[in-house]
Structure 1
């Protein structure tokens, strides 16, 4: 499922990853390069399987671990109210 950030969430890519600003609460969150890759794939319309594929290809990690990482980040972004 594609990912969308809320209207009150601003993003900025940095040399290390991506910074998210929740303007409602004035809180910053930082995604490392792995999280940034996951978000890029999902924001481009890819699903969680495509994001896991991208992790396996880019970082040569185990498929099961990639799926866990994607699921965990998506759940955290949605639980925090940053993404739908």
Structure 2
């Protein structure tokens, strides 16, 4: 699943990752560096399995299963918060 940020969600880089602001609700979410890396890959057009592979290239200590689970968990969390939509 390739993703887009919802049209009323703004992303701002921080020293430790990224902050997402839902302008409709006023709520914001802070992403750590790993979540930011995954989100950038997904927003750039990478499929989840490709994003997990890219994550393992940066963090070779991660197992393939753990990387895939981390990507899936982020997609679920962002989707449940209604911050992203399928591309």
Instruction: State if a TM-score over 0.5 links the two structures.
Output: yes
Root-mean-square deviation over aligned CA pairs: 0.7
**TM-score normalised over the length of structure 2:** 0.93
Distance 1:64 1:42 in 2: 18
**TM-score normalised over the length of structure 1:** 0.96
Whether 2:54 is the aligned partner of 1:54: answer yes
Distance 2:78 2:28 in 1: 12
The gaps in structure 2 that reach 5 residues or longer are none
The gaps in structure 1 that reach 5 residues or longer are none
Shift of 1:54: 1.2
Aligned residue runs from structure 1 range 3-82, under 5 A: 3-60=3-60, 61-82=62-83
Give the paired residue count: 84
Q: Provide runs of 4+ in structure 1 moved above 2 Å.
A: none
